[in-house]
Structures are given as C-alpha cells and as structure tokens.
C-alpha cells in the first residue's frame, strides 16, 4: 500500500523520449536516485513517433512534465521545438535534456559531460593526437565538440554509414568551431583498416552492437586495433561490446559507456532537481544489473 501511495499531487514527472526506447536504463537510474535522495519524482519512458514530436512538446507543457531526456533519433530535431537552448547545445547542434521552466522549454547537452568524464583520465595521451569517430548523429556531435574544445586533438577522422552526413558534420564544425582538421569517410571497414590502425583513439558513437544486436560491430577486422590505442564505445548495454572485445584482444585499452551514461544522467538529474545524483552508488548498481 505504501508504494501505491507514493505518487500523488506532489509528484514531479520527468522522463525520456525517443524511438525505440524499450532498452533504456535511464528510468532505472533516475528512479533509484530519486529514492536514494528521498525526492518525490518519477521518471518514465515515452516512445514517441517523429510525427508526434511537436505534440509531445505541447503535451509536456500542458501536463506540467518537468523534464525530458532526449535520445536517438531526436537529439538534433528537437531543437526547433524548444524556446531556448544552452550555449554548448548551440555549438554542438544537439540537445539531450529538456527543462520545462514554467512553460518555457530549455534545451541542454549533458552528453558532453559524459564524454569528458570518460576521457579526462586519458587526457595527456589524447591531446594533439589523431582520433577516429564512428557515427555522425547527435552523440557524435557532443563527442567531436569535446575532442576539439577539451582535448585539442590534432585530427579527426569522421566515419559514417552515410558518407554525406559525415561530410555535413565536417563542414558544420569547420564553420562553428573553426576546426578544419576533420576528414570524412564512408563506413566500409576493409577500406578503413589503415585509418583505424593509425588512430590513437577510436570512438564508436553509433548504436551498432547495442543490445539486443550484440553480435554487430562497426568493424570486425582485428587489424584495425593495436596495443598503443585507446578504444571507447559509448554503448553501455552490453558493457563489453563486440567492438571493445576485438580491440582488447589486440591489446588496446578500452572504455565502456557506463561512465558516459551515468555522468550525462547525473547532469540531467541536477538540472531537474538541483541535487547531486549519488553517482558512485548508481554506477555500481547499474553495473550489477548489466552483468546479470
């Protein structure tokens, strides 16, 4: 009975919008955090078709929903439906968190904090080096922004299934951040072995290899990797993607998406509640769920 009484007129609703959404661990992460911090909030997943995105924003205001995370494929498209976006989001061109400030919808990018938390321990190794980024969507934008601004990387190879999207993103960062050292490639793994092998850091920002498609990988060519590299997969489910397993088999250092996931969530949590998420406890909890 107690748990049924928990949600009442004092409960603040937040959630995540995207399509598909069913494998997200965000509801688990935020609801445990609300419980631990004794906050009267609830976090719900909303699977929204693109044709309903505009109505969803109107519904958010009408229903007094306090905030949303925005996940694939809407991180870029959502911007035109918001009243205001943060300075970082303006440069990145992607939003993953919305705050409903009394009817004014404000967009933020907390993914960039997740990227920073994941890569900062390797800062000295990465600075002024060549990096390959796979993917040209919203997550790639946040990653490239951090690589340019915080790690001052020498060169970025931008690899994407749709070559034209990689070219557009290359031109976007040349104009927005005056960074002219991005080279774009089509994701054809046999042609890219050299591009991968000569990179100090390789980052997968696509959903390729994510549960349930755990046998997929952006490249299955082991020669793409070596023991001087750092290989980062933004995917957290599974913790060891096929991509990371292959990199590790060649001696590369690997970074999974757990820190990225929890740290971006912690920033969103702070924007909605004004409180700090108990990050260490949450990381341990999510990790044990993922390892089950």
**Under the rule (CB under 6 A), what is the footprint of ligand ATR?**
72-73, 75, 135-140, 160-162, 165, 187, 205-208
Q: Distance between CA atoms of 129 and 134, rounded to whole angstroms?
A: 16
Tokens (6 digits) for 270: 């702070």
- Residue with Cβ nearer ligand ATR (126 or 166): 166
HSE value, Cβ hemisphere, 13 Å, CA-based, for 45:
15
- Residue with Cβ nearer ligand ATR (109 or 285): 109
Contacts of 144 (CB under 8 A, 6+ apart): 133, 156, 158, 169, 173, 182
At closest approach, how far in Å is the CB of 156 from ligand ATR?
Answer: 14
Q: Distance between CA atoms of 218 and 16, rounded to whole angstroms?
A: 26
Handedness of CA 245, 251, 252, 257 (dihedral sign): positive
Kindly name the residue from 40, 58, 66, 75 that is annotated as catalytic. 75
The answer to whether 241 and 91 are in contact (CB under 8 A) is no
- Residue with Cβ nearer ligand ATR (139 or 229): 139
Tokens (6 digits) for 101: 């400030």
Q: For 153-197, give the DSSP string.
A: -SEEEEEESSHHHHHHHHHHHHHHS----EEEEE--HHHHHHHHH
- Residue with Cβ nearer ligand ATR (51 or 102): 51
The answer to whether 203 and 145 are in contact (CB under 8 A) is no
At closest approach, how far in Å is the CB of 160 from ligand ATR?
Answer: 5
Active site residue 75: yes
Contacts of 201 (CB under 8 A, 6+ apart): 119, 122, 125, 126, 129, 131, 132, 153, 229, 230, 231, 232
- Residue with Cβ nearer ligand ATR (29 or 208): 208
Nearest residue to the partner ligand ATR, using Cβ: 137
**To the nearest 10°, the Cα dihedral for 37, 121, 24, 265?**
40
At closest approach, how far in Å is the CB of 38 from ligand ATR?
Answer: 32
Strand pairing report for 104-108 and 97-101:
antiparallel
At closest approach, how far in Å is the CB of 216 from ligand ATR?
Answer: 7
Q: Distance between CA atoms of 207 and 168, rounded to whole angstroms?
A: 20
At closest approach, how far in Å is the CB of 208 from ligand ATR?
Answer: 5
At closest approach, how far in Å is the CB of 263 from ligand ATR?
Answer: 16
Contacts of 35 (CB under 8 A, 6+ apart): none
- Residue with Cβ nearer ligand ATR (15 or 137): 137
| Residues marked as catalytic | 75
């Amino acid at each position: 009975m107690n748990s049924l009484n928990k949600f009442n007129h004092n409960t603040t609703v937040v959630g995540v919008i995207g399509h598909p959404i069913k494998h997200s661990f965000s509801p688990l992460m935020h609801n445990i955090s609300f419980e631990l911090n004794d906050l009267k909030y609830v976090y719900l997943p909303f699977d929204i078709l693109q044709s309903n995105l505009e109505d969803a924003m109107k519904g958010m205001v009408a229903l007094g929903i306090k905030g949303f995370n925005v996940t694939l494929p809407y991180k870029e498209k959502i911007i035109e439906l918001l009243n205001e976006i943060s300075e970082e989001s303006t440069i990145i061109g992607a939003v993953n968190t919305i705050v409903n400030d009394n009817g004014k919808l404000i967009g933020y990018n907390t993914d960039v904090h997740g990227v920073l938390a994941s890569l900062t321990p390797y800062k000295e190794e990465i600075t002024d080096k060549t990096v390959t980024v796979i993917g040209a969507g919203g997550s790639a934008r946040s990653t490239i922004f951090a690589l340019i601004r915080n790690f001052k990387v020498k060169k970025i190879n931008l690899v994407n299934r749709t070559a034209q999207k990689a070219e557009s993103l290359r031109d976007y960062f040349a104009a927005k951040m005056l960074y002219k050292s991005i080279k774009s490639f089509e994701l054809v793994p046999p042609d890219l072995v050299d591009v991968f092998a000569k990179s100090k850091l390789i980052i997968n920002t696509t959903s390729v290899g994510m549960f349930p498609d755990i046998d997929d990988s952006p490249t299955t060519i082991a020669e793409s990797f070596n023991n001087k590299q750092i290989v980062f997969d933004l995917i957290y489910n599974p913790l060891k993607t096929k991509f990371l397993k292959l990199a590790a088999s060649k001696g590369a250092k690997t970074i999974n998406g757990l820190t990225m996931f929890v740290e971006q969530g912690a920033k969103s949590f702070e924007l909605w509640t004004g409180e700090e998420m108990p990050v260490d406890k949450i990381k341990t909890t999510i990790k044990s769920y993922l390892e089950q």
